Amino acid sequence: MKARNFSGLLGRLDTLPDSTLVPIPVVAEHDSVSEDTVKRNYPIVRVSKRVSGVQLGFLRHRGETPKTAA
C-alpha cells in the first residue's frame, strides 16, 4: 500500500469546514491514538470501499452540550 503524506492537512484543520472528511490516519495523529482506536470509537463515514474518515465537525465539537432554542 502506498504511504500518504497528510502532514499538511493537520496544519490546515482550523481553516476547513466542519463537513470536511478527515482521513483516519490524520485523526489518529491529531488525537494521539492508534488508527484501530479511531475505527472502534469514532463515527466513521464511508465514502467508498477504500475511502473513509471522520467529519471534522465531530472532532471540533465532541463533548459539547447541544444548544437548545429558547
Per the listing, cell 466542519 goes with 18
In a domain, 13, yes or no: no
pLDDT on residue 33? 95
Sheet with 21-23: strands ordered across: 21-23, 52-55, 45-46
User: What pLDDT digit, counting tens, does each position of 12-64 carry?
Assistant: 888 999 999 999 999 999 999 999 999 999 999 999 998 899 999 999 988 77
Residue 5 has pLDDT above 80, yes or no: no
pLDDT on residue 69? 62
11: cell is 496544519
Give the amino acid at 4. R
Structural domain total, the chain = 1
pLDDT on residue 59? 92
Segments forming the whole domain that contains residue 42 = 22-57
CA distance 64 to 51: 28
In a domain, 69, yes or no: no
pTM of the model: 0.78
Q: How would residue 1 be classed by pLDDT, with cut points 50, 70 and 90?
A: very low
In a domain, 43, yes or no: yes
